[in-house]
Amino acid sequence: MEHPILFISIILEKLGLPIPHGPIGNTFLEKLCEPYMTYTWFVMIFLVVVGKLTLSNIEMIPGKGQNFWELLIGGMYDFFNDNMGSELTEKLFPMISTFALYIAVGNLIGLIPGFMSPTSSINTTLALTLIVWVTHHLIGLRAHGVGYIKHFLGPIPVLIPLMLPIELISNVARLLSLSIRLFGNIMAKETLLGILFMLAGAYFAPLPIMLLGVLVSLVQAMVFVLLTVVYFGQSNEHAH
Amino acid sequence: MAKKLSTEMVDLLGNYGHIGFTFVAAIFIGLGGGIYLDEHFFDGNTSPWFTFIGLAFGIGAGFKSLFDILRTPAARTKDKDSEG
């Protein structure tokens, strides 16, 4: 199915840059101009600019913008603190909160006509998931050293040959489930919206799906962050 | 009240919202690993065996992740009860 109009792609095409016509470009420049790449940069620029505009002069009595960010960041900080302890939160708060903001804005931006969710490409979600997955192993190795392997051996020494493959498989399954859940939900939303726009856009057919899309976007961002926090907390704990 | 309700909702979603995907992903990774061992590592000499062993381990891993999900929130509420 041909994707609906994406305005960044049109601007880039007018500027003479090669836009890939399939999902994957051939040359390096085409790969850089794929829609999910350009919209990822768009979301990054959006977050930086909005942050700069609202937080350029921080005051004791917060205005509208600062109030919003204080509520959001404060809420996330408390939530991380509850779920993975203050030590890890101090270290990893910037990373996880950036993920949360990026995924939430990236999901929601696809609801506006002319935009596309960068998270509706498996490349984006797999990249995010790989970072989380590698980080949670690094946290475990750092906290327990070689003893981190006890997390994968199960409770009883006799059952090690049985438990080791099972634990390894279920650990790798985290990689797959975390990335495919986000990708699948957001791609389904995007595709459904695109089809409804094409079939009956004049009769406001996509409106109910847009309402559901807002819900799905926020819930998926929340679930991704929550699972990230839970994994980090688990690998930091002692093996049971 | 509303805040308490929403945090509870987030907890439930995070704990139980990923059961289906994790279960399926575990089975597929087990099966895929078994097929890879059969076809590429042993060149098809052991053909059905590692596929089935991998499938069994995958299903085991799926159920293990289910039990993990069941155990985690229960343990957490117990901690909270003993604190308060």
pLDDT in tens, A91-107: 899 999 999 999 999 99
Q: Per the CB < 8 Å rule, is A173 touching B25?
A: yes
State the number of CA atoms in the 13 A half-sphere of B7 facing the CB: 10
Output helix, strand, coil percentages for chain A, rounded to the nearest 5: 80, 0, 20
pLDDT of residue A25: 65
At B10, the pLDDT band (50, 70, 90 cuts) reads low
Average pLDDT, integer, range B15-30: 85
pLDDT of residue A48: 93
**Domain extents for chain B?**
26-73
Q: Kindly determine whether residue A180 and residue B21, on different chains, have CB atoms separated by under 8 Å.
A: yes
User: d(Cα A163, Cα A161) in Å, to the nearest integer?
Assistant: 6
pLDDT at A100: 93
What pLDDT is stored for residue A1 in this prediction? 41
- The token duo for A202 is 């004049």
Q: Which residues in chain A (60-79) have CB-CB distances under 8 A to chain B?
A: 79
Whether pLDDT at A50 is above 50: yes
Looking at residue A63, its pLDDT comes to 77
CA dist A79 → A19, A130, A174 (Å) = 42, 23, 22
Contact status, residue A115 vs residue A28, Cβ threshold 8 Å: no
| Mean of the per-residue pLDDT values of chain A | 85
Q: For chain A, what's the residue count? A: 240
Selection from A88, A135, A106 nearest residue A220 by Cα: A106
Contacts of A79 in chain B (CB under 8 A): 7, 10
Q: Rounded to an integer, what distance in angstroms lies between the CA atom of residue A76 and that of residue A55?
A: 18
Chain A residues 140-179 within an 8 A CB cutoff of chain B: 162, 165-167, 169-170, 172-174, 176-178
Query: Is pLDDT above 90 for A137?
Result: yes
Q: pLDDT value at position A93?
A: 92
Lowest model confidence (mean pLDDT) among A51-65, A71-85, B22-36 = A51-65
DSSP secondary structure letter of residue A115: -
Closest approach of A60 to chain B, Cα-based (Å): 25
Q: What is the spatial distance between Cα A8 and Cα A73, in angstroms, rounded to a whole number?
A: 30
Q: What is the pLDDT of residue A237?
A: 82
